[in-house]
Structure formats: C-alpha cells, structure tokens
Amino acid sequence: MIECSVCHSTLELETVGGKTVSRAYDRHRHQVSSKTRFLNVALVVGDCILVGLQPILVYTTKVDGGFKFSPVSVNFLTEAVKVFLAIVMLLLQARHKKVGEKSLLSFSTIAQAARNNVLLAVPAFLYAINNYLKFIMQLYFNPATVKMLSNLKVFVIALLLKIIMKRRFSIIQWEALALLLIGISVNQLRSLPEGTSALGLPVATGAYLYTLIFVTVPSLASVFNEYALKSQYDTSIYHQNLFLYGYGAIFNFLGIVITAMFKGPSSFDILQGHSKATMLLICNNAAQGILSSFFFKYADTILKKYSSTVATIFTGLASAALFGHTLTMNFILGISIVFISMHQFFSPLSKVKDEPKNISLESVDSPKNKR
C-alpha cells in the first residue's frame, strides 16, 4: 500500500503494477508529448493514403470477376517484400547510430533481440491464416456482406485488448466503439444488395462458424502483434519488423508447400498470373504491413481501426468530389456518427477514472514501485 502525496488516499500497489505489459512500454506511455501526437497524426495520414489506394488496386487486379493468381503466392510475395523493406529500413537506421550505442547490425544484438521476440511468431502465423481467409471470403461471399461482417472486428479487438493487453475502457468508450460499428453500418446500408434479410446478412447456418473465424483470427493477430511488439519495447522496431516478416515469409512458404502437395507442383510457380497491377497491390500491402507495426508499437489497434474508417470516409468524399456523385443521407449520417464516436473515444473526458492516479504514482524507477 502506498499513499499519494497530494490527496493522501492509499492505493494498493498490486492493482497499479498488475496492469503492465512491459516496464519500458509503461515509461513510454506516460511520456505523452507533442512528438507522440505528431507520430500518431503521421501514422493516420500514411494509413489513409495506403488504405484509400487498396480498393482501386484490388479492382485492377481482378480478371473476369476473379483472380488469375494463387492467393497464397500473393501473401508470400507480400511477406518477401516486407522482409526486403524491413532490411532496407534497418540498414538506413543503422547508419544513424549515435556514439556509444550498440550497432543494430551486430550479431550479438540481433541474436539477443531474436531470442526475446520469439512471441512474434504467433501473430505471424495468425496473419498467414487470415491473409488466406481474406481472399477466400472475397471470392465466395458478397463484398458488401464481407464489409458488414468486418465491422464486428471493432468489438472483438476491444474485448481482446481488455483480456490480453489489460486495457480498461470506460462506458463512454465502449459506447463510442458501438457507435463506430453503427456509423459504418449506416454508411453501408445503401450499398447492401436487394433481397438481403431484415438483419442484412444472407448467411447460411453453416456460415456462422466461418464468420466467427473470419472475425476472430485477424483481431487476435492484431492484438497479439501489439502485445508482442510492446512487451519487448526496448528492442528496436526495425529488428522486430525483420523477425515478424521473417516468420511471416516462413509460414506463407509452408502454405505454398501444402498447396503444392494437394494441387501439384504448378503452385510453386509463384509468379504465375501476376501483372504490374498485382505487383502494385503487393507493394501497397507490404507498406500497410510495415505501417501497422508502427501503429501497434507506438499507438494501438483501436487507432488503426479508426484510421481505416477515416480513410474510407475520405475515399467517399474524394470520389464524390472527383466524379460528381451526390452524397447520400446515409453517408452524411454515418460519418457524423463516426466522428462523434472518434471524439468520444479519444476525449480525455471519457478516459477511465483512475488513470491520472496511475501516472502520478508510477514515477520512473521509484524503488517503491518494484514488484
């Protein structure tokens, strides 16, 4: 038990210390500076551009309504590009080494970092499964239905953050997440195909399990990724990226091997059916992946989610401005809800009540705080 020097109220140390993911991350978390805010804005803007390009690129890669190339090959190539980008970024970063710092390229540093970050194999495995699922869903389900189902991820992510990252959300924040879900749905209502049922989801009974997997796997991957990156906060993100995408490449290569076992050796021809368009899509995917790592390490999965939604909104506004579409009432009401939700989620008013106490008590390296 310790006493606050200002309000003289006693607090159990267990509850304060029990909620930490890593000490280095906690230190970072309480140094909210203008630098962090700038980083967040930069992440959101970058994400908006990449996510905004995605539907255009996917559209250009479709031939006769389907894909000519194997989805597994796209995933493997994406991981390969990510590993390549991660190596380039690591090399660039290593040149900016300050005097007295250990080189990022020394074998001992890399070996130590690799040992500490084996946990990254878990999200890499989940992502490999999810990438495959994503293509399957787009081929066999209606795109509008896929979109509607994807909205449910917001809630699953929040639930997983609560369980895995010990994050606490206030009631207002839970409501903000519900509003995000509702806002996106209102926006999508008009695009739903005719003849869908009252609840808008024409899913067969068997498809419910499929939906559950489709929603849970990527959410679990993101939250586990956030956990793995933050729990080894002292490891350079450039090392972490290298390991994450290295594991990713291995798992996707295994995917190709398994496909080859079932469909014959032609699956090894990973460049089959690819064009310039698919290469652009792959580079965009890779860049989004790299950006996600920064989101998960320095911000969080929820900000990533809001960022994607804002990207969709800007795409809508841009297409309205460029092609002279009129904005539907659904779009206007939907984005109003999303922006209110966003303000409520990040507003200091809605933060969990005892958060400020934590900050004032967890002074860095105070001997009292050690567990």
Kindly tell me which residue out of 20, 116, 211, 330 binds a copy of itself, with binding defined by CB under 8 A: 330
Location of structure tokens 């309205």: 320
Q: Is 200 in the site for a copy of itself (CB under 8 A)?
A: yes
The amino acid that residue 53 corresponds to is L
Q: Is 349 in the site for a copy of itself (CB under 8 A)?
A: yes
Asked if 146 and 188 touch (Cβ cutoff 8 Å), the reply is: no
Asked if 252 and 42 touch (Cβ cutoff 8 Å), the reply is: no
Q: Choose between 144 and 213: whose C-beta lies nearer to a copy of itself.
A: 144
**What string of DSSP letters covers 211-226?**
HHHHHHHHHHHHHHHH
Give which of 2, 26, 23, 21 is closest to 12, Cα–Cα.
Answer: 2
Kindly tell me which residue out of 16, 164, 189, 213 binds a copy of itself, with binding defined by CB under 8 A: 189
Q: How far is the CB of 80 from a copy of itself (least distance, A)?
A: 42
Pairwise CA distance, residues 210 & 215, whole Å: 9
DSSP code at position 66:
B
Kindly tell me which residue out of 35, 96, 98, 199 binds a copy of itself, with binding defined by CB under 8 A: 199
Q: Is 133 in the site for a copy of itself (CB under 8 A)?
A: no
Q: How far is the CB of 355 from a copy of itself (least distance, A)?
A: 14
Q: How far is the CB of 115 from a copy of itself (least distance, A)?
A: 45
Kindly tell me which residue out of 63, 332, 359, 364 binds a copy of itself, with binding defined by CB under 8 A: 332
The tokens of 291 are what? 């950006």
Q: Which H, E and C letters describe 251-317, residue by residue? A: HHHHHHHHHHHHHCHHHHCCCCCCCHHHHHHHHHHHHHHHHHHHHHHHCCHHHHHHHHHHHHHHHHH
Question: Is residue 205 classed exposed, middle or buried when 0-12, 13-18 and 19+ CB atoms within 10 A define those classes?
Answer: exposed
Q: How far is the CB of 190 from a copy of itself (least distance, A)?
A: 9
Q: How far is the CB of 191 from a copy of itself (least distance, A)?
A: 12
Q: Is 360 in the site for a copy of itself (CB under 8 A)?
A: no
x/- map, 165-184, a copy of itself, by CB under 8 A: -----xxx--x--xx--x--
Please tell me the total number of residues recorded for the chain in this structure: 371
Q: Is 103 in the site for a copy of itself (CB under 8 A)?
A: no
The amino acid that residue 90 corresponds to is L
Residues that bind a copy of itself (CB under 8 A): 170-172, 175, 178-179, 182, 185-186, 189, 192, 198-200, 326-330, 332-333, 336-337, 340, 343-344, 347, 349-350
